[in-house]
Amino acid sequence: MRIAVLDDYQRVALSYPYWATLPADVDVTTFAQHIADADELAERLADFDALVAMRERTPLPADLLARLPRLRLIVTAGMANAAIDLAAARARGITVCGTASNATATVELTWALLLAVARGVPAADAGMRAGSWQAGSPPGADLAGATLGLLGLGRLGTRVAAVGQAFGMRVVAWSANLTAEHAASHGVEAVPFDELLSSSDVVSVHLRLSDRTRGLLGARELALMKPSAYLVNTSRGPIVDESALVEALSSGRIAGAGLDVYDTEPLPADHPLLALPNTVLTPHLGYVSTNTYDLFFREIVEDIAAFHAGTPVRVLE
- Closest C-alpha among 56, 87, 92, 57 to residue 73: 92
Q: Which pLDDT score is estimated for 136?
A: 75
DSSP string, the chain: -EEEE---TTS-GGGSGGGGGS-TT-EEEE--S----HHHHHHHHTT-SEEEE-TTSS-B-HHHHTT-TT--EEEESSS--TTB-HHHHHHTT-EEE-----HHHHHHHHHHHHHHHHHTHHHHHHHHHTT-SSTT-PPPPP-TT-EEEEE--STTHHHHHHHHHHTT-EEEEE-TT--HHHHHHTT-EE--HHHHHHH-SEEEE-----TTTTT-B-HHHHHHS-TT-EEEE-S-GGGB-HHHHHHHHHHTSSSEEEES--SSSSPPTT-GGGG-TTEEE-SS-TT-SHHHHHHHHHHHHHHHHHHHTT---SB--
In a domain? residue 317: no
Contact, 111 vs 159, CB < 8 A? no
Summarised one tens digit per residue, pLDDT across range 258-303 is: 999 999 999 999 999 999 999 999 999 999 999 999 999 999 999 9
**What pLDDT was estimated at residue 137?**
78
Torsion of CA 16, 18, 20, 24, to 10 degrees: -130
Same domain, 275 and 294: no
R_g of the chain computed on alpha carbons:
21
Active site annotation includes 308: no
Same domain, 134 and 237: yes
pLDDT, one tens digit per residue, over 43-65 is 999 999 999 999 999 999 999 99
How does the average pLDDT of the chain come out, rounded? 97
User: Which domain CATH number covers 166?
Assistant: 3.40.50.720
* Other C-beta atoms lying within 10 Å of the C-beta of residue 289: 16
Is there a domain that residue 315 lies in?
no
Q: What pLDDT shows up at residue 75?
A: 98
The closest of 88, 232, 45 to 149, measured between CA atoms, is 232
Alpha-carbon gap, residue 78 to 201, rounded angstroms: 32
**Is 116 in the same domain as 204?**
yes
Distance between CA 48 and CA 51 in Å, rounded? Answer: 7
Residues 111 and 245 in one domain: yes
Say if residue 68 is in the same domain as residue 110: no
In a domain, 316, yes or no: no
In a domain, 202, yes or no: yes
Is the separation of the CB atoms in 263 and 209 below 8 Å? no
Q: Does 265 participate in catalysis according to the annotation?
A: yes
- 135 pLDDT band, cuts 50/70/90, is confident
pTM of the predicted model as reported, rounded to 2 decimal places: 0.94
pLDDT value of residue 312: 98
Q: Which long-range contacts (C-beta less than 8 Å, at least 24 apart) are formed by 39-45?
A: 42/67, 42/68, 44/4, 45/4, 45/71
Residue 314 within any structural domain of the chain: no
90 lies in the same domain as 109: no
Residues 48 and 27 in one domain: yes
Name the active-site residue from 159, 206, 284, 308: 284
Q: What is the pLDDT of residues 158-182, one digit of tens each?
A: 999 999 999 999 999 999 999 999 9
Q: What is the pLDDT of residue 201?
A: 98
The whole-angstrom separation of Cα 74 and Cα 28 is: 13
Inside any domain, residue 194:
yes
Catalytic residue among 108, 247, 265, 302: 265
Torsions phi, psi of 183, nearest 5?
Answer: -60, -45
Given CA atoms 62, 67, 73, 75 in this order, what sign does their dihedral have?
negative
Cα–Cα distance measured from residue 312 to residue 300, given in angstroms and rounded to the nearest whole number: 11
155 band by pLDDT with thresholds 50, 70 and 90: very high
Q: Are residues 260 and 139 in the same domain?
A: yes
202 and 64 share a domain? Answer: no
Write down the pLDDT at residue 205.
98
Torsion of CA 162, 165, 171, 175, to 10 degrees: 0
Residue 11 lies in a domain: yes
- The answer to whether residues 244 and 172 belong to one domain is yes
Q: Residue 84 domain-assigned?
A: yes
**15 and 53, same domain (yes or no):** yes
Catalytically annotated residue among 236, 242, 299, 308: 236
Tell whether 38 and 149 lie within a shared domain: no
Distance CA 241, CA 13 (A): 33
What is the tally of structural domains in the chain?
2
Domain that holds residue 7: 2-102+290-308
State mean pLDDT over 178-202: 98
Beta-bridge partner residues of 217? 240
* Alpha-carbon gap, residue 142 to 187, rounded angstroms: 21
Catalytic site residue 56?
Answer: no
